[in-house]
Each structure stands twice: as C-alpha cells, then as structure tokens.
Structure 1
Amino acid sequence: MSLRVDLPYEQWLPTKETLHRFAQIVGKVRLAHSPRRNHWWNVPFHVTGSGITTRPMGSNPVFAIDLDFIEHRAVIATTEGSRRSFPLEGQSVASFHAALVASQARRVRFITSGTPSTSPRRGSRTRSSSMSRRPTR
C-alpha cells in the first residue's frame, strides 16, 4: 500500500499553476499585513490539516486566510468572529482576486488597489533604473 497518491504531472499542471497564482495573491496580502522580519520569515504559508494558512496577521481586527484543499474553499476569518469563504473550484486567477476582495470582512481592508501589484517598493533600485544612468567621466 502506497501512502502517496500518484498525480500525473501533465494532467495536474494547470491546477498547480492556478494554485500557485492563488497563493501569490494571498501572499501579497500577508506581505502587506505582517511586520517585516529578516529572511522573509513573516510571509511563508503554514501547513494545516486541510491545506495552508497565513496564520494571524494584521490588526484591528487580526485575520487569517486559509486555502482549504479538502473543502476546496478560501476562508477569511477574523478574531472578531467574522468568517467568510468562497469556493476555489472553477475560479480563474482574476475571479479569485475579485472574490477575495469581495469577501473582505467589513473592517478588514487588506487589498487597497483594484489589481495585484508586483512593482518594486518605492525607493528601491532596480536593474533598469541603474542601467539607464549615464556613466560619469
């Protein structure tokens, strides 16, 4: 008896890529609402019995986002007792983002812009900005 379930990689690849993008969106929320720690220890997901979680983050109220792979749902819960969820199944990345924004608890504002952002932080140097400078003579 094998303890592992065989997953045919080629058939599972679209699901893996979609879940990866869902996790990136939730990870951006985690990044924005947790105090920075060295080596990015503030942003990893933690394994639960049913999927992965951000663990508690933010303040006023404190909240957590879980991706439940048994029930196939995203769950947003606060310390005030508010709990909202929506299905993962059948979601595109854009509809997942929209559902996450729509599922926010009344006092939790964890996504401030209408679209996910991957731009560098203000004041950080990027390769393109440093390459565009003219050499001094």
Structure 2
Amino acid sequence: MNDQSAQDFLSSLQDRADEMVRQSEQIREQLGSLTETAGDGGIAVTVSSNGALKDLEIDQRALQRGPEELRATILRLAGEAQAKVAHRVAQTVEPFAGESAMEFLRTQLPVEPEEPAASRNDDPDFDDEPPQTYLR
C-alpha cells in the first residue's frame, strides 16, 4: 500500500466516523423530544422516549371511577403510551441501524395496543344501584 492510498483510506475512515457522529447526534435530538400521550375520559398519561412516565393528568371525571378502575385505566394508558413510543423510537432509529439490529429490536418491542374495551361507565344501560328490595 503506498502513502497516497493509505492517506485516502484514513481520510475515508475519518469521513465515515464523522458521519456516524452526525447521525448519532441527530438521533439523540429526535429522541430527546419524543413523547407519547394516551388519554381516556379525564386521564392522560405522557411518557418520554425511554418509556418513563413524564406527566399524568387526572380530572374530576376520572376521580368518580373509584380506585380500582382508576388504577387499571392509568396502568393501561401507560402501557399504550409506552408501546406507541417504543415503535416511534424504532422508526426513528431504523434508517441508521442495520437490518439485523432492527430485527432484534422489533423482538424487544411491546405489542401494539389494541382498541380499548368499552368500560362499564360507557354503557348507558349499566345500573350499579342495588335493588331496593328482593321481596314484593
């Protein structure tokens, strides 16, 4: 290998390294501003790009649900938001990652959330009042 071809090789290697640094900075910037919010009847859950809870909003309507339903709704919404943000992160990284890395990443992602089941509070015919008497 002569001096010129070694210099060209090193220059090419430096150009590739510079491009990788530029791409990683671009990904970091995109991921830093990435959030996902899921909402349902007075509750909104927002997670950051790493899936960490970033914000939780609960209004008066949600407080009427009772503790068990409120808990279940918050957990469901957090899971939905985390799954959505994980898939958005994968889409952001995909142009820069190799195919084998993306195949592995997809196996680690949570399942896309399904449409939420209707709540009993959504059913206008649901009557949660106990009968006044059992005998007539």
- Do the structures match in fold with TM over 0.5? no
Question: In which range does the TM-score fall when normalised by the shorter chain?
Answer: under 0.3
| TM-score, scaled to structure 1 | 0.23
User: Whose RCO is larger (CA < 8 A, sep 6+)?
Assistant: 2
Larger radius of gyration: 2
